[in-house]
Amino acid sequence: MSLMRPMRLLKTMTTHQKTGGIENTLVYWLAVEISALNEIFCERYIDRHTRTYDQMVQAARSGKQNLVEGSLENSTESNLKLSGVSRASYGELVEDYKDFLWKRGLPVWEKNDPRTLSIRSWRIDTHATHVTHDAHETHGISFADAESFANLMVTLCTKEGYLMDRFLAGIHDRFVKEGGFREKLFRKRMEYRKKGVT
């Protein structure tokens, strides 16, 4: 089975096309992809009555929701904090998927494995038509293949972690250069007072 396919996203949103802000970024759409695939994986392979199921579902949700909530904050400090929580969630998911593989005696693909490199090279089209939740495969990987599915998730979550690191660095640089919400408000107050004096 060939893995050299363009990345398709799972349809988890309505047909209403959202635009602007975080929803036009690669880091957001990969979070959407991971959230949907994680749900399918957990329903198929993880006992829903276990703590692991709850933790994995919550981690994927936390990753996406905190990313969105952070982008809506006026405060750069709050954005950094929430985005940091989002970043940590993907680190947790990587470990959960590795644990799944290890406990079943399945290999974790090395970062230089051709299959891993293939997944990492896929591009996300933020305007692509999504496959449905009822699909039985994605990216050429069958959901029935536990090893490939889990390693797909390890690779996607690792990639999202890398994108989040870059995203956080951008927020941090902006905070250093422009200051936080309170500092901006203070500057505006001072400018207003100066105008009032003159």
- CA-based angle 136:142:145, to the nearest 5? 125
Residue 16 pLDDT:
36
β-bridge pairing 137-138 and 141-142: antiparallel
Residue 26 dihedral angles phi and psi, to the nearest 5°: -65, -40
pLDDT tens string 159-189: 999 999 998 988 887 767 666 555 555 455 5
pLDDT tens string 74-105: 777 788 889 999 999 999 999 999 999 999 99
Residue 17 pLDDT:
38
Residue 1 pLDDT:
37
Q: Is the pTM of this model over 0.85?
A: no
- Spatial contact of 71 and 79, defined as CB atoms under 8 Å apart: yes
pLDDT tens string 29-54: 999 999 999 999 999 999 999 999 99
Residue 11 pLDDT:
41
Residue 79 pLDDT:
85
Per-residue pLDDT band at 55 (split at 50, 70, 90): very high
pLDDT tens string 117-158: 999 888 776 666 554 566 788 878 999 999 999 999 999 999
Residue 80 pLDDT:
86
